[in-house]
Amino acid sequence: DSGVTQTPKHLITATGQRVTLRCSPRSGDLSVYWYQQSLDQGLQFLIQYYNGEERAKGNILERFSAQQFPDLHSELNLSSLELGDSALYFCASSLGQGNQPQHFGDGTRLSIL
Amino acid sequence: QKEVEQDPGPLSVPEGAIVSLNCTYSNSAFQYFMWYRQYSRKGPELLMYTYSSGNKEDGRFTAQVDKSSKYISLFIRDSQPSDSATYLCAMSDPIKDSSYKLIFGSGTRLLVRP
């Protein structure tokens, strides 16, 4: 158990809809990272938050947004969903914002019908 | 060309064998090197975390980094059926202001036969 909690484990929805994925980092970790894992693209970095502030962006679509709350949990919002958004979404956390080990949750499997 | 190349396998070995998993990379800016293990329907689990060239050992696992060749390896000794999983190499890529993102290989599927 990595200590990173993600909910829900599985989400099924339709095209055009909006969903929110939730992540609770390990106790004491201030950084949260979101990744997308698909069969054709592998694990891709989306966005990083550190202590409530956005720190870095990767290949995140404009339809996607995230935030980190004062209690350090984070939410990833996906809107105007398309079939191609079907993937596993992982959250990882680390102690600081620098070069430190990232620990992953078990992900949310998003299925778009 | 991908920044990190990893043979997808699958790699099938008998129980007790020594397993060698490898990744090559092209970006000399990568600073830290990691190996993650991912079981089906689970998140990646950090196995090894290294910085400098050389070897790092942890139990049955040895991580090897050769920065001059841009090549990293993970060796698993006395492999067990429970080691059957996908192994992902990952490298930290500096972004800005002391932030880093991980760049992952595509993963190698390992099957250890009893």
pLDDT, one tens digit per residue, over A88-102 is 999 999 998 777 899
Task: Out of B42, B95, B96, name the one closest to residue A106 (CB).
Answer: B42
A64 close contact with B: CB closer than 8 A: no
Instruction: Give the pLDDT score at A12.
Output: 97
Mean pLDDT, chain B, rounded, equals: 93
Q: How confident is the model at residue A9 (pLDDT cuts 50, 70, 90)?
A: very high
A56 close contact with B: CB closer than 8 A: yes
Strand partners, A64: A78
Instruction: Give the pLDDT score at A98.
Output: 77
Which chain B residues are within 8 Å of A2, Cβ to Cβ? 43, 45-46
Task: Out of B49, B98, B103, name the one closest to residue A101 (CB).
Answer: B49
Instruction: Give the pLDDT score at A109.
Output: 97
Please, are residues B81 and B18 in contact by the beta-carbon 8 Å criterion? Answer: no
CB within 8 Å: B99 and A33: no
Q: How confident is the model at residue B2 (pLDDT cuts 50, 70, 90)?
A: confident
Residue B97 has pLDDT above 80, yes or no: no
Residue B66 has pLDDT above 80, yes or no: yes
Please, are residues A105 and A2 in contact by the beta-carbon 8 Å criterion? Answer: yes
In SS3 terms, chain A reads as CCCCEEECCEEEECCCCCEEEEEECCCCCCEEEEEEEECCCEEEEEEEEECCEEEEECCCCCCEEEEECCCCCEEEEECCCCHHHCEEEEEEEECCCCCCCCEECCCEEEEEC
CB within 8 Å: A101 and B95: no
CB within 8 Å: B95 and A56: yes
Structure tokens at B33: 């090197």
∠A80-A86-A92 over CA atoms, to 5°? 100
Task: Out of B42, B46, B104, name the one closest to residue A103 (CB).
Answer: B46
The residue of chain B with its CA nearest to that of A34 is B101
Which chain B residues are within 8 Å of A48, Cβ to Cβ? 95, 99, 101
A42 close contact with B: CB closer than 8 A: yes
Which chain A residues are within 8 Å of B46, Cβ to Cβ? 2, 101-104
Strand partners, A85: none
* Range B87-102 average pLDDT: 87
**How far B79 CA sits from the closest chain A CA (Å)?**
22
Task: Out of B36, B44, B101, name the one closest to residue A58 (CB).
Answer: B101
CA torsion A35-A58-B97-B106 (nearest 10°) is 60
